[in-house]
Amino acid sequence: MSSAFAEAFLLIGSFDASLAGIIALSLKVSLSAVLLASAIGLPLGAALAVARFPGRQALIVALNALMGLPPVVVGLVVYLLLSRAGPLGEFGLLFTPRAMVIAQTLLVLPIIAALARQAVEDAWREYEEQLRSLGVAEFDAALTLLWDIRFSLLTAVLAGLGRASAEVGAVMIVGGNIDGVTRVMTTAIALETSKGDLPLALALGMVLIAIVLALNAAATLLKEAAERRYG
C-alpha cells in the first residue's frame, strides 16, 4: 500500500506525457462545460430571481431537483441524442471530447442556475425598492444584480466545476474512455483501479484533488480581496 503511494509520487514527479495529456483533457472538458453552463445558467438564474410569472415556483423546484441529476442518466440521455440513430447522430459527436462537454454542460447547468437564482434573489430583496425607485426595469435589474454580486456567484461556478471535474458516469458513457482521445482523470482512475494499477490511479486522484483545491483557493482569495475592496 505504501509502495503504491511512493510510486504514485514518482509518477507525478516524472511528469509522464500520457498522464499530462489526461490531465489537460480533463481540464479542457470540465472548464469548457462550466464556461458554457455559466454563460447560460447565470443569466437564467438571475432572470428567474427577478421575474414574476405563473409557474415560477414550480420551475424553481424543478431546477433545484435537477441539481441532483445522476451523471449516468445525463450520459445516457446525451448518448441517445448523439448516437448514430439519434436526432443529432449525423454530427458524429459521440465518443469525442465535444460530446463530453455537452454532457457535463447539461449536468452542471442546473447547479449553476439554481445557486445563481438563490444568490440573485437574496440580493434582489435588498436592492429591489431602490432599483425600482430609480426606474430600473426587471431585465436591467437582473443584469445589474449579476454584475454587483459577481464575486458571490463564483461560489456557484465553483460548485459547478467541482461537479464537472469529479463525475465519471457521463463522460464514461458519451466519451467511451478511449486512450489518448477521450480518457480523462476520473475515467482513467476507474479503469486503472479495476486493472489493479493502483499507483497510476492514486497519482491521478492526487492530481485531481490538488487541482480542485488550487482552483477553490484562488477563488476564495479573489472573493476576499473583492470584499475588502468593494464592501
Residues that bind other proteins (CB under 8 A): 126-127, 129-130, 132-136, 140, 144, 148-149, 229-231
- DSSP state, residue 101: H
Least Å distance between CB 226 and other proteins?
A: 8
Query: Is the CB of 121 or the CB of 148 nearer to other proteins?
Result: 148
Q: Phi first, then psi: give them for residue 112, nearest 5 degrees.
A: -65, -45
Instruction: Report how far Cα 80 is from the mean position of its chain's Cα atoms.
Output: 22
Query: Is the CB of 15 or the CB of 230 nearer to other proteins?
Result: 230
Least Å distance between CB 114 and other proteins?
A: 23
Query: Is the CB of 13 or the CB of 231 nearer to other proteins?
Result: 231
Least Å distance between CB 50 and other proteins?
A: 15
Least Å distance between CB 148 and other proteins?
A: 5
Quickly tell me which residue has 449525423 as its cell: 90
CA–CA distance, 17 with 22 (Å, rounded to integer): 9
Q: Which string of b and e fits 170-202 if b means at least 16 CB within 10 Å?
A: bbbbbbbbeeeebbbbbbbbbbbeeeeebbbbb
Least Å distance between CB 126 and other proteins?
A: 6
Query: Is the CB of 18 or the CB of 130 nearer to other proteins?
Result: 130
Query: Is the CB of 83 or the CB of 152 nearer to other proteins?
Result: 152
Residue type, 177: N
Quickly tell me which residue has 486512450 as its cell: 179
Quickly tell me which residue has 468593494 as its cell: 230
CA–CA distance, 38 with 110 (Å, rounded to integer): 10
